[in-house]
């Protein structure tokens, strides 16, 4: 069995990508450092105690959104693939709808409906935060669904399901102990995408008057020149760290026995 070494072509592709992705970031850093003194734009951002409290709030909301979103989407995507393929077009259409609703329309629509009985979410803090999580599930729906769907397609869910059923497993067990472990990469992708959205989101958190990271960062960059650049980089860096943390938690700790091959 041949061990596939990295061909020149693939290295080239990768290096081109690195260039494309990093040059704009370097340019932004170069600009942010023009502040006098050079790091003031960065230190200004981190000094405020609200920096950490708002970051924490957004991280918590992010985790809640990921958990809630997966609980909704994994069974749904699984069911569509396994039992109701005819529903696929409708379900996918619904998952694409969040793209066409402007964020302002989304948040004001939610406020309109859920600021009065029978479901007065906005009347309480917990309710407003719950509404925020709901809003974020909506925003991340297209990405989450597509990631999970891709993951499901890559495994043979019919055989897995049959085998599990023949051993007497119920639906919950099947999804929880059979399907989910095989979706690791897809779940990670979905989690990354969702967390990035939550950490960077501004409009919904802001109009729901939530102490989130997005509105806080925005406050820092009002009408200033160098601060927005520094803030963008800080946000970028922090989100990347959060991704790495998630990747670490979700890492594959099963020992693989490598007998050549690309994996």
Partner 1 sequence: MTATAGQGAPLARPVRRLSWSWLGLLPFFLFAIFFIGAPITYLVIGSFQDKTGQTTLQNYADLATPSISNAFLTSIEVSLVTAVIGGIFGFLLAYAVILGGLPRVLRDALMTFSGVASNFAGVPLALAFIFTLGQLGMITVWLKGIGINPYQSGFTIYSKIGLELVYLYFQFPLMVLIIAPAIDGLRPEWREAAENMGASSRQYWQKVALPILFPTILGTIILLFGNAFGAQATAYQLTSGLIPLVPLLIGNQIAGDVLHNPGLGYAMAMGMVFIMAGSIIVYTVLQRRAERWRR
Partner 2 sequence: MEFDPTKQRARARALGLIAAAGLLAAACTPAASTAPSAATPTEAAGSPAASEPAASVDPMADLIAAAQAEGMLTTIALPDDWCNYAGVIQGFKDKYNVPVTVLDPGASSGVEIEAIKANMNNPGPQAPDVVDVGFSFGEDNKDLFLPYKVATWDTIPEAAKSADGNWYGDYYGVMSFETNTAIQPDPPKDWSDLTDPKYKGQIALDGDPRASNQAIQAVYASALANGGSLDNAQPGLDFWKQIVDADNFVPVDANPGTIVQGATPVAMRWSYNGLAHRDATAGNPLIDVTIPASGRFGGVYVQAISKYAPHPNAAKLWMEYLYSDEGQLLWLKGYCNPIRYEDMVKRNVVPADLAARLPDTTGAVFPTPAQLAAATKLITEGWDKTTGATEITIPK
Q: Are 179 and 215 in contact (CB under 8 A)?
A: no
Residues 6 or more apart from 211 whose CB is under 8 A from it?
50, 53, 54, 57
Q: For residue 31, count CB atoms less than 10 angstroms from its CB and return exposed for 0-12, middle for 13-18, buried for 19 or more.
A: middle
Distance, CA of 204 to CA of 218 (rounded, Å):
13
Residue 33 binding target from partner 2, partner 1, none, CB below 5 to 8 Å by type: none
User: Applying CB under 8 A, does 132 fall inside the site for partner 1?
Assistant: no
Contacting residue, 35, 41, 164, 186, with partner 1 by CB under 8 A: 186
Among 116, 120, 124, 158, binds partner 1 (CB under 8 A): 158
From the list 35-43, 49-57, 85-93, 173-181, the region that binds partner 1 by CB under 8 A is 85-93
- Distance between CA atoms of 202 and 218, rounded to whole angstroms? 8
Q: Which is nearer to partner 2, 67 or 90 (CB)?
A: 67
Residue 258 C-beta: closest distance to partner 2, Å = 15
Nearer Cβ to partner 1 (199/212): 199
| Residue whose CB is less far from partner 2, 82 or 160 | 160
- Kindly state the smallest distance separating residue 91's Cβ from partner 2, in Å: 25
* Number of other CB atoms surrounding residue 91 within 10 Å: 17
Choosing from 54, 58, 122, 189, the residue that interacts with partner 1 (CB under 8 A) is 189
Q: How far is the CB of 180 from partner 2 (least distance, A)?
A: 8
DSSP 8-state code for residue 256: P
Residue 164 near residue 208 (C-beta atoms within 8 A): no
Nearer to partner 1, 23 or 209 (CB): 23
Cβ neighbours of 253 (radius 10 Å): 5
The residues that touch partner 2, with contacts defined as CB under 8 A, are 31, 34-36, 53, 56-57, 60-61, 63-64, 67, 104, 107-109, 111-112, 115-116, 122-126, 128-129, 160, 163, 176-178, 181-182, 203, 206-211, 215, 218-219, 222-226, 228-229, 249, 253-254
Is 137 one of the binding residues for partner 1 (CB under 8 A)? yes
Q: Could you tell me if residue 223 is left (phi over 0), alpha (psi between -120 and 50 degrees) or otherwise beta?
A: left
| 91: partner contacted, choices partner 1, partner 2, none (Cβ within 5-8 A by kind) | partner 1
Comparing CA positions, the residue from 132, 108, 119 lying closest to residue 197 is 132
Candidate segments 36-44, 45-53, 57-65, 178-186, binder of partner 1 by CB under 8 A: 178-186
> How long, in residues, is the chain?
263
According to the binding rule CB under 8 A, does residue 67 interact with partner 1? Answer: no
CA angle 248–147–142, rounded 5-degree value? 120
The yes or no reply on residue 98 touching partner 1 (CB under 8 A) is: yes
CB 225 within 8 A of CB 32: no
Which of the ranges 46-54, 59-67, 137-145, 172-180 carries the binding residues for partner 1, by CB under 8 A?
A: 137-145
């Amino acid at each position: 069995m041949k061990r596939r070494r990295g061909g020149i072509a693939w290295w080239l592709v990768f290096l081109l990508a690195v260039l494309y992705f990093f040059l704009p970031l370097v340019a932004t850093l170069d600009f942010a450092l023009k502040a006098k003194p050079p790091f003031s734009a960065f230190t200004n951002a981190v000094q405020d105690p609200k920096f950490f409290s708002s970051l924490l709030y957004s991280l918590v909301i992010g985790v809640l959104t990921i958990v809630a979103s997966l609980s909704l989407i994994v069974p749904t995507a699984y069911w569509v693939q396994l039992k109701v393929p005819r529903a696929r077009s409708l379900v996918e259409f619904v998952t694409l709808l969040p793209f066409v609703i402007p964020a302002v329309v989304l948040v004001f629509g939610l406020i309109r409906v859920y600021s009065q009985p029978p479901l007065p979410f906005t009347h309480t803090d917990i309710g407003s935060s719950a509404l925020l999580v709901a809003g974020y599930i909506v925003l991340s729906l297209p990405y989450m669904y597509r990631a999970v769907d891709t993951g499901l397609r890559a495994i043979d869910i019919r055989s897995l399901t049959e085998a599990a059923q023949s051993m007497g497993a119920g639906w919950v067990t099947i999804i929880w102990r059979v399907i989910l472990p095989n979706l690791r990469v897809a779940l990670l992708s979905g989690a990354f995408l969702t967390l990035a959205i939550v950490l960077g989101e501004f409009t919904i958190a802001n109009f729901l008057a939530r102490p989130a990271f997005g509105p806080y960062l925005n406050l820092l960059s009002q009408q200033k020149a160098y601060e927005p650049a520094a803030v963008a980089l800080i946000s970028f860096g922090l989100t990347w760290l959060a991704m790495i943390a998630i990747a670490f938690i979700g890492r594959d700790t099963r020992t693989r026995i490598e007998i050549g091959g690309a994996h």
